[in-house]
Amino acid sequence: MAQTANIRNIALIGHRGAGKTSLIEALVHAAGVTNRLGTVQAGNTVTDVDDEERSRHLSITATVASFEYAGQRLNLIDTPGYADFLGETYGALRVADAAVLVIHAESGVEVETEKTWAYAQEYDLPVFIVLNHADAERADIEEVMEQIHDRLGARTAVVGLGQGQGSGLSGVVDLISGKLYPGGQTGSASTADVPADLAAVAGEQREALIEFAAENDEALMEKVFGDEELTVDELRAGLKLGVLSGLVPVTVAAATSNIGSLQILDMLVGLAPTPADRPAWVGTKPTGDNETVERAPSVDEPFSAYCFKCVLGEGRRLSLLRVVSGKLAAGSQVLNTKRGNRERLGTFGYVRGGELLDCTELVAGDIVGVVKIDAGAGDTLCDDSAPVVFEPTVYPTPLMSLAIAAKSRGDDEKVGAAMTTLRDEDPSLQFGRNADPEQQVLSGMGDMHLQVILSKLRTRFKVEVDTSKPKIAYRETVRGKAEAQGRYKKQTGGSGQFGDVHMRLEPLPRGTGIEFSDEIFGGSVPRQYIPSAEKGARARLAEGLLAGLPVVDVKITLYDGSYHAVDSSDIAFQLAARIAMEACAEKAKMVLLEPILDVFVSVPDEYVGDIMGDLPRRRGTVMGSTGEGKLQTIQAQVPAAEMATYATDLRSMTQGRGSFRIEFNRYEEVPGDIEAKVVAERLAEMAEARK
């Protein structure tokens, strides 16, 4: 069992290919936990647990690697670097106490470097930077440091200096201890003195570290002003205070060669905050009145935990928890305040890739996996005598969609069950029925995200699906007012059917929906048949009067009619109202409505012109722009029909450096030429479906 003060929860973030997975593999190996150094290419690293990850040689899910080093419990979270899977990064950063931003020493600051750095800032996390692949032939540490300062605006402190350059890299000088860490070591570090050719630059860099440390501690400042030497422990303590205030330590590594690994471990143990160093979590009481509750990261607080991920497979459901406060023994019962059920935490343990390691008690700060409980991402588990709800992580809005349908009609239920499982594992996915009740739509962060899900449906769930372009949620309405009679009469011998209504159809403001009123006086339509007339009218509007699409934002008024004492009935008045609506449609000007989206596009300054030029070509209206640093956010309103491929198009226009989000704004009339095309396509589809 770990103590809260001995835990480090650290998410590794950065651009794809920077070497996050390889770095975790090197750190676990250097700590003496594994006896071989796995590789991404071989698919045998500790955090390669997903078949899709192994086959594609990239991280798709956030995976925890827990191990001990120097008497401390390190929970490292490997996160994807590909843009389509950054939803996993949100969940990981939510439960981390610090982040390691991994940057390729040859490629430098890239798109997802900037994005994940920004995410860490949003969560107010201390950040460390590792310049990985420092043994690459064209690695340029000075150039990358300039990019870090220029594009990230980070206030850095170099704590690790490479011995040798490019393929000649053989070790890392730790500027805190003033010792050289030769490459290739495992277990406890065997250090050496700083080589003579690095002594001068190492001395200068260490002096800078001393100044950084003294900035955060008056006692250290006095020692420095008095020309007294700081001990290694004092230097480390001062730098840790700096890290908590935004200082960013930087070091170098070559993970696949296990160079710099032990120096990084010592850096994280010495400088990274423990859960006890971080602020209390803020939640609310589950009473619905939004009364706030704080849970400090202490074992003396009531037990509470946040579930940030669920992993299902091989007959096992594993819920990953961050223990926020308190402590708990195996077999104890807790309350799930989101679902309202009680759970017994019988089997839990530290997580290392696909392994679940022994753990007998949970303490504040732990990250663990719990087997066989009904808890998913965003759930709060707590002591039922001190209930609390932690706000679920807000994931990015999906940017790309596909309509899917089982190739075999008998597989419809299998598709639904599979998507329920995949949604449990990946909260950034959305799945449900769209504009057309017969169309099921899968939405994700991009093409790669969707392709991975389709692959999982085939390989893991053994179900094949057809894909198509999702239908736009067009609607119909009327532009003018119309009145018409609907008369239904059927006589075939004996009692017949008779209903007669006079109805008015007129437009309402956008977003109003459908309203119904009656102006019947004197009993021309008996009161018991007025709901029948309303039901029939609403049902006919739902079927569409122009192109088979629901009619919205209209007022239906029943103002006259007649009945037969014997032949009138509920169904007769429903049918009469349907006839009246069809007659009104012939007189009123029916128009098609399309959804308009608020679109927020964030790009570096140099791409603003391209974006401003592209949006009007999508029938968009640019509403303005705001700037923050070197990024500009352009706000526009664009028809949803023009945004189907925008995720791919934006990536192409900005070399992957742009991002966007969308929100529904309103419905608006479709231009005449486009309306004619959409209506013709819809009518053709309906005719085909009737064959």
Question: What mean pLDDT is reported for the chain?
Answer: 93
| The two three-digit tokens of residue 229, written as one number | 């030497």
Map residue 571 onto helix, strand or coil: helix
Reduced to 3 states (helix: H, G, I; strand: E, B; else coil), residue 549 is coil
**Fold held by 592-673:** Alpha-Beta Plaits (3.30.70)
Rounded percentage of the chain residues whose pLDDT exceeds 70: 99
Angle among Cα 674, 677, 678 to the nearest 5 degrees reads: 85
What stretches of 530-675 adopt beta strand conformation (E)? Answer: 554-562, 590-604, 621-628, 631-639, 659-669
Q: How far apart are the first and last CA of the chain?
A: 68
Pairwise CA distance, residues 45 & 29, whole Å: 10
Predicted TM-score (pTM) of this structure: 0.87
Confidence of residue 436 (pLDDT cuts 50, 70, 90): low
How high is the pLDDT of residue 493? Answer: 67
Report the C-alpha dihedral over residues 368, 371, 373, 378, rounded to 10 degrees. 30
For residue 310, pLDDT beyond 80 = yes
Nearest to 59 by CA among 19, 106, 99, 1: 19
pLDDT per residue as tens digits for the range 461-487: 999 999 999 999 999 999 999 999 999
Which residue carries 């205070």 as its tokens? Answer: 241
Collapsed DSSP state (helix, strand, coil) of residue 502: strand
pLDDT at position 30 over 70 = yes
Q: CA-to-CA distance for 170 and 184, rounded, in angstroms?
A: 9
Closest CA to 487 of 452, 525, 451, 453: 525
Position 636 scores a pLDDT of 97
Q: Check whether 128 has a pLDDT greater than 70.
A: yes
What value does the CA radius of gyration of the chain take, rounded to a whole number of Å?
A: 32
State the pLDDT at residue 633.
94
- Distance, in Å, from the CA atom of 517 to the CA atom of 567, rounded to the nearest integer, reads 25
In this structure, what DSSP letter does residue 606 have?
A: G
- Candidate CATH numbers 3.40.50.620, 3.40.50.720, 3.40.470.10, 3.30.230.10; the one for domain 475-588: 3.30.230.10
Residue 108: which residues within 8 A CB-CB, separation 6 or more?
A: 140, 143, 144, 147
Is residue 359 within 8 Å of residue 348, measured between CB atoms? yes
Query: Is 3.30.450 the CATH classification of the domain at 406-420+430-468?
Result: no
Of residues 493 and 320, the one with the higher pLDDT is: 320
Per-residue confidence (pLDDT) for residue 437, from 0 to 100: 63
pLDDT at 146 over 90: yes
Does residue 132 carry a pLDDT above 90? Answer: yes
Cβ proximity of 482 and 505 under 8 Å:
yes
313-363 residue pLDDT tens = 767 889 999 999 999 999 999 999 999 999 999 999 999 999 999 999 999
Dmax (CA) for the chain in angstroms is: 115
Confidence at 1, pLDDT banded by 50, 70, 90:
low
Do you know the residue count of the chain?
691
**CB-side neighbour CA atoms (13 Å) of 380:** 25
Q: Which fold has domain 4-193+246-277?
A: Rossmann fold (3.40.50)
Of the ranges 58-72, 492-506, 557-571, which one carries the lowest mean pLDDT score? 492-506
> How high is the pLDDT of residue 165?
86
User: Confidence band (pLDDT; 50, 70, 90) for 235?
Assistant: very high
CA 63, CA 536: separation in Å to the nearest integer?
A: 55
Determine whether domain 281-382 maps to CATH 2.40.30.10: yes
Q: Which residues contact 235 (CB under 8 A, 6 or more apart)?
A: 176, 209, 210, 213
In DSSP terms, which residues pair with 489 in a beta bridge?
Answer: 498
Residue 627's pLDDT band (boundaries 50, 70, 90)?
A: confident
Same fold, 281-382 and 475-588: no
**Model confidence over 371-386: pLDDT tens digits?**
989 999 999 999 999 9
Domain positions in the chain: 4-193+246-277, 281-382, 406-420+430-468, 475-588, 592-673
Over residues 574-603, the pLDDT tens digits come to 999 999 999 999 999 999 999 999 999 999
Give the SS3 label for residue 180. strand
* pLDDT score at 579: 98
Once rounded to an integer, what is the mean pLDDT over residues 170-195?
89
Rounded Cα distance, 196 and 44, in Å? 39
- How far is it, in rounded angstroms, from Cα 587 to Cα 425? 52
**Residue 293, strand partner residues:** 283
- What is residue 540's three-state secondary structure? helix
Instruction: Name the residue with higher pLDDT: 398 or 267.
Output: 267
pLDDT at 494: 67
Its sign, for the CA torsion 629, 630, 635, 640, is: negative
Interval 61-109: pLDDT, tens:
999 999 999 999 999 999 999 888 989 999 999 999 999 999 999 999 9
**How much is the pLDDT for 435?**
63
